[in-house]
């Protein structure tokens, strides 16, 4: 019996099926995504989406959709579904009788006596998607038509009918080659058996994406259809359709499909679903190995990379090799003590004050996994010392260590921490000054580096930094501790302590080297449990605060105002669980399991087989944001690994 369960009777109900989205990645930056009934509800949906080198490696939708039509006795039954103004047309979802996601994405349609199964796989490390059609049952001669919808545009844009598009095609073996615009790759559409291509070039106007409409974006586009492929199909026969940036060998498509299915990782448990999801964030291109922050619209983010890394590599697969590849990729881009927040090379933005501090946390996890501190020091010791020196001496005029040993980060009009939403040029959560998590991570980074330096016999570094440890620890407590309520200020600026109850203080309790006493940690965790803890992670602001927003919805400006003002972030469950384990040990196992179970409830909802970016702060805690987020998945996996570790621990 399949682990991922769907109500087959509800598949024809659009309210049910359009809220469930699927994702597959090719491990090279490309992906396919749609709803479980193949009705695209986002501009980010499509069957073949690939990065294009000529366009800064940004993802572009080539093949948006493929409509199937069953023909019997001269009657045509279109299995596709698109949203147009005021209606859905065609309404092929009404023929769906089954949906599966194990081992691969599969839909089964029934039209009278015809039973047709469609299966989809994305080829790893290639720009190719394969769809296999199997006629499970039929009582009369049956013909299958396949109609491709081409977009040829950036994932963030929308296509419009225009005279510049090259609507011509070239015949190739068992198919055609299309290329709507210069600079794009060709799209080779081929079928494993001989077929007839009927050219009926036309634009399909005003296809709508309801999720974009909800998010306040343009939501209508025009897609180009060059024509359709047509071929007879017999009962029991399987036929494979390929859409690829390279020409395929039609005779090999069936075997290639079968091989891909056999290689697919299992999704037969909550943990295996998350492990499968984790593998999708890892992208290898050339000498670089990166972690995509989230699908379908995020690229690589430095901060997200370091937070997600231990979970998506070490906890997911004990994959120390990939973990090191990512660390090496990021280390090569270190500049003046900072890692790129977004972008790469000339397009990189070095505007994250906390990402370098998370680098040390990732190194600690890596070191624990390989059980070799000497190897960590050999590979990264110079980088670690460079980061610490840059922060001590001043990364720039905005990020620097002050006389009390703490890090001050404040740049006008910028948001330098993970709470980085900006509306109309103004940070929503400004947090300029001494931030609690940055300074807790700073203390941890110094202590960890000193430990490795001492083991390596780097006496010069030890002598230079040893005395700072006590100074930072004392200053941290004096600066952030709010004794009256026994918790930590979120940040401290020229006006004093900001006492909004936010989750950033939990990070100070979760680190291997914490400046807090156990009694202080108890106070922090108690207030976080009372005000911020939900079944889906931690709220970003207490509901008792006048600025609290309990829903994450509306246009971009509205959502950005809500982003860190109460919205729940799943990734924060990792530091929360880790902090409690450090304080209470094995006694916290039962509670940790209960907290993690809250995510399993959603494994077949929203982003199927994954965990999304955020949830509403108010019950029923509806998921939102990206459908699959690296640090959400990573921190839940890391938490699950901690549970296993403490279950084995002695009392």
Sorting pLDDT into bands at 50, 70 and 90, what band is 1? low
Same domain as 259, residue 399: no
Q: What is the pLDDT of residue 335?
A: 93
Q: Which of 191-200, 235-244, 423-432, 568-577 has the lowest mean pLDDT?
A: 423-432
Both tokens assigned to 456: 């390596």
Q: What is the pLDDT of residues 466-509, one digit of tens each?
A: 999 999 999 999 999 999 999 999 999 999 999 999 999 999 99
In whole angstroms, give the CA distance from residue 355 to residue 341.
7
Same domain as 319, residue 207: no
Give the total residue count for the chain: 651
Same domain as 528, residue 463: yes
Quick check: 441 pLDDT over 70?
yes
Same domain as 279, residue 221: no
Is 3 contained in some domain? no
Both tokens assigned to 410: 């404040």
Same domain as 69, residue 31: yes
Spacing of C-alpha 618 from chain mean position: 23
The answer for residues whose C-beta is within 8 angstroms of residue 262's C-beta and 6 or more apart is none
CATH of the domain at 488: 1.50.10.10
What average pLDDT does the chain have? 96
Q: How many CB atoms lie within 10 A of CB 140?
A: 10
Is 173 contained in some domain? yes
Exposed, middle or buried: residue 544 (CB in 10 Å: 0-12, 13-18, 19+)? exposed
Is 240 contained in some domain? yes
Sorting pLDDT into bands at 50, 70 and 90, what band is 345? confident
Q: How many domains does the chain have?
A: 2
Q: What percent of the chain has pLDDT over 70?
A: 100
Sorting pLDDT into bands at 50, 70 and 90, what band is 289? very high
Same domain as 282, residue 209: no
**Which of helix, strand or coil describes residue 27?**
coil
Same domain as 471, residue 542: yes
Quick check: 651 pLDDT over 70?
no
Same domain as 277, residue 212: no
Q: What's phi and psi for 12, nearest 5 deg? A: -80, -10
Q: Where are the beta strands (DSSP E) in 499-600?
A: 533-534, 537-539, 568-569
Sign of CA pseudo-dihedral 20, 69, 108, 28 = negative
In whole angstroms, give the CA distance from residue 369 to residue 326.
15
Same domain as 488, residue 378: yes
> Considering 240, 263, 286, which residue would you say is the last residue of a domain?
263
108 with 23: CB under 8 angstroms?
A: no
Same domain as 574, residue 460: yes
Q: The domain containing residue 224 runs over which residues? A: 8-263
Same domain as 370, residue 506: yes
Quick check: 449 pLDDT over 80?
yes
Q: What percent of the chain has pLDDT over 90?
A: 96
Same domain as 356, residue 233: no
> Considering 201, 230, 263, which residue would you say is the last residue of a domain?
263
Is 495 contained in some domain? yes
Is 488 contained in some domain? yes
Is 2 contained in some domain? no
CATH of the domain at 47: 2.70.98
> Considering 263, 288, 306, which residue would you say is the last residue of a domain?
263
Quick check: 26 pLDDT over 70?
yes
Quick check: 344 pLDDT over 90?
no
Is 1 contained in some domain? no
Render 133-185 in DSSP notation, one character per residue: EEEEE-SS--EEEEEEEEEEEETTS-----TTS---EEEETTEEEE--STTSP
Is 388 contained in some domain? yes
State the residue for tokens 């509403």.
616
Q: What is the pLDDT of residues 37-88, one digit of tens each?
A: 999 999 999 999 999 999 989 999 999 999 999 999 999 999 999 999 999 9
């Amino acid at each position: 019996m399949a682990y991922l369960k769907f109500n087959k009777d509800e598949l024809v109900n659009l309210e049910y099926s359009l809220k469930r989205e699927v994702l597959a990645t090719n491990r090279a930056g490309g992906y396919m995504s749609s709803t479980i009934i193949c009705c695209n509800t986002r501009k980010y949906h499509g069957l073949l989406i690939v990065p294009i080198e000529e366009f800064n490696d940004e993802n572009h939708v080539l093949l948006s959709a493929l409509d199937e039509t069953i023909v019997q006795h001269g009657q045509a039954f279109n299995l596709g579904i698109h949203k147009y103004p005021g209606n859905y047309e065609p309404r092929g979802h009404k023929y769906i009788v089954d949906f599966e996601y194990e081992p691969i994405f599969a839909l089964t349609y029934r039209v009278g006596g015809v039973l047709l199964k469609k299966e989809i796989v994305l080829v790893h490390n290639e720009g190719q998607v394969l769809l296999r059609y199997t006629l499970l049952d039929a009582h009369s001669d049956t013909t299958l038509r396949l109609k491709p919808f081409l977009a040829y545009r950036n994932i963030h844009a929308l296509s419009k009918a225009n005279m510049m598009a090259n609507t011509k095609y070239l015949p190739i073996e068992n198919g055609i080659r299309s290329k709507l615009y210069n600079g794009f790759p060709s799209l080779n559409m081929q079928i494993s058996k001989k077929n007839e291509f009927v050219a009926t070039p036309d634009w399909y106007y005003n296809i709508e994406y309801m999720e974009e409409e909800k998010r306040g974006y343009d939501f209508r586009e025009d897609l180009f259809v060059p024509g359709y492929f047509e071929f007879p199909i017999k009962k029991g026969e399987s036929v494979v359709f390929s859409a690829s940036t390279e020409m395929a060998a039609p005779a090999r498509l069936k075997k290639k499909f079968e091989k891909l299915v056999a290689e697919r990782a299992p999704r037969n448990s909550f943990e295996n679903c998350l492990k499968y999801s984790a593998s999708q964030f890892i992208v290898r291109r050339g000498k670089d190995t990166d972690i995509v922050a989230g699908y379908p619209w995020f690229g690589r983010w430095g901060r997200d990379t370091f937070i997600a890394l231990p979970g998506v590599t070490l906890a997911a697969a004990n994959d120390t090799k990939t973990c090191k590849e990512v660390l090496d990729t990021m280390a090569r881009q270190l500049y003046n003590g900072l890692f790129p927040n977004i972008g790469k090379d000339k397009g990189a933005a070095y505007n994250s004050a906390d990402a370098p501090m998370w680098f040390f946390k990732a190194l600690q996890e890596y070191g624990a996994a390989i059980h070799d501190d000497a190897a960590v020091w050999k590979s990264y010791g110079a980088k670690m010392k460079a980061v610490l020196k840059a922060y001590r001496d001043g990364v720039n005029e905005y990020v620097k260590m002050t006389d009390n040993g703490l890090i001050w980060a404040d740049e006008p009009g910028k948001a330098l921490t993970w709470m980085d939403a900006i509306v109309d040029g103004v940070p929503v959560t400004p947090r300029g000054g001494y931030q609690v998590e940055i300074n807790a991570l700073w203390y941890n980074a110094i202590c960890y580096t000193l430990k490795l330096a001492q083991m390596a016999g780097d006496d010069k570094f030890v002598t230079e930094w040893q005395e700072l440890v006590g100074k930072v620890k004392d200053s941290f407590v004096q600066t952030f501790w709010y004794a009256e309520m026994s918790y930590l200020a979120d940040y401290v600026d020229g006006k004093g302590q900001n006492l909004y109850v936010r989750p950033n203080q939990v990070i100070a309790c979760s680190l291997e080297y914490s400046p807090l006493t156990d009694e202080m940690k108890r106070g922090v965790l108690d207030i976080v449990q009372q005000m911020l803890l939900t079944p889906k992670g931690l709220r970003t602001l207490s509901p008792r605060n006048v600025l609290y927003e309990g829903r994450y919805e509306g246009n971009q400006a509205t959502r950005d105002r809500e982003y860190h003002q109460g919205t729940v972030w799943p990734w924060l469950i990792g530091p929360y669980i880790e902090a409690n384990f450090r304080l209470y040990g094995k006694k916290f196992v039962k509670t940790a399991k209960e907290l993690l179970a809250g995510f399993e409830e959603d494994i077949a909802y929203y982003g199927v087989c994954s965990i999304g970016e955020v949830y509403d702060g108010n019950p029923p805690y509806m998921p939102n944001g990206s459908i699959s987020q690296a640090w959400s998945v990573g921190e839940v996996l890391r938490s699950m690994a901690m549970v296993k570790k403490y279950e084995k621990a002695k009392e």
